[in-house]
Amino acid sequence: MSNKILIVDDERNIVELSKLYLEKEGFVTVCAYDGEEALQIFENEAPELVILDIMMPKKDGWQVCREIRKTSQVPIIMLTAKSDTFDKVLGLELGADDYMTKPFEPKELVARVKAVLRRSETQKDTDKKEVTFPNLSINIENYELKINGESVDAPPKEIELLYFLAQNPNRVYTREQLLDKVWGFDYFGDSRTVDVHIKRLRQKLEVAQENWQLKTVWGVGYKFEVK
């Protein structure tokens, strides 16, 4: 069965162009042109991935992303007309899996959709669903992070990044490797994405890092160090 993609943008030419290229690759598409319509279609159609514009009438992309994340971990690729880092960081913190700046090449959008879906399917097939260390538990099945026995709110991609590093303790990964392993970007993505997520995770984990820590290996990347 083909993956169903929800395309959300108030610019109809972007929707139609994205729809054309995605359907050419065998995807099934459904479309919405404002935030409220997007949430209604999302509930009715249950797509496997959402392409979500930020600046839209009725509800903007931030609001739609928040609403989706209350009930679903479906992959989200956000579209922005701005190249401002703030927009990108906010989208990632809200739980988006990737972002693209307009104007973009439709072929790149298709490649990112494939990469994000590939990563999502790989994650679903992971046998080991939970990693535990003293004062730390990361459950990838229900996306639950516990520190000192207490649940801590964290966006899905932060949990996936921490889970991946904790599965491979004391092994150093470059930013590019983490983009590939966690985001599935292949040749796409910005290494600052990794830095943003590591910074946010450190803020959440600093109260419990006695036996382990997220460590920067200067000039290389990051590792989950077990002391």
Question: 1 pLDDT exceeds 50?
Answer: no
pLDDT at position 191:
67
Whether the CB-CB separation of 108 and 188 falls below 8 Å is answered with yes
Q: For the segment 4-61, what is each residue's pLDDT rounded down to a tens digit? A: 999 999 999 999 999 999 999 999 999 999 999 999 999 998 899 999 998 898 998 8
CA distance 17 to 100: 15
Please provide residue 162's backbone torsions phi and psi, each rounded to the nearest 5 degrees: -65, -40
Spatial distance between the Cα atoms of 227 and 182, rounded to a whole number of angstroms: 24
Name which of 178, 157, 190 is nearest 222 in CA terms: 178
pLDDT in tens, 157-205: 899 999 999 988 888 888 888 888 888 754 455 667 888 899 999 998 8
- Alpha helix (H) residue ranges in the chain: 12-24, 35-45, 61-69, 85-93, 106-124, 156-167, 175-178, 192-205
Query: Domain 4-124's class?
Result: alpha beta
What is the pTM assigned to this prediction? 0.58
Is the pLDDT confidence value at 125 over 60? Answer: no
The predicted pLDDT at position 141 comes to 82
Report whether pLDDT(152) > 50: yes
Q: CA-CA distance, 128 to 125, in Å (whole number)?
A: 9
Q: What is the mean pLDDT of the chain?
A: 85
- What fold does the segment set 130-226 form as a domain? Arc Repressor Mutant, subunit A (1.10.10)
Non-local CB neighbours of 155 within 8 Å, separated by 6+ positions = 69, 92, 93, 94, 95
Q: Tens digits of per-residue pLDDT, 94-104?
A: 678 888 888 88
- Domain edges within the chain: 4-124, 130-226
CA 153/CA 145 separation, integer angstroms: 7
pLDDT, tens only, 74-113 = 889 988 876 655 556 666 666 788 888 888 899 999 998 9
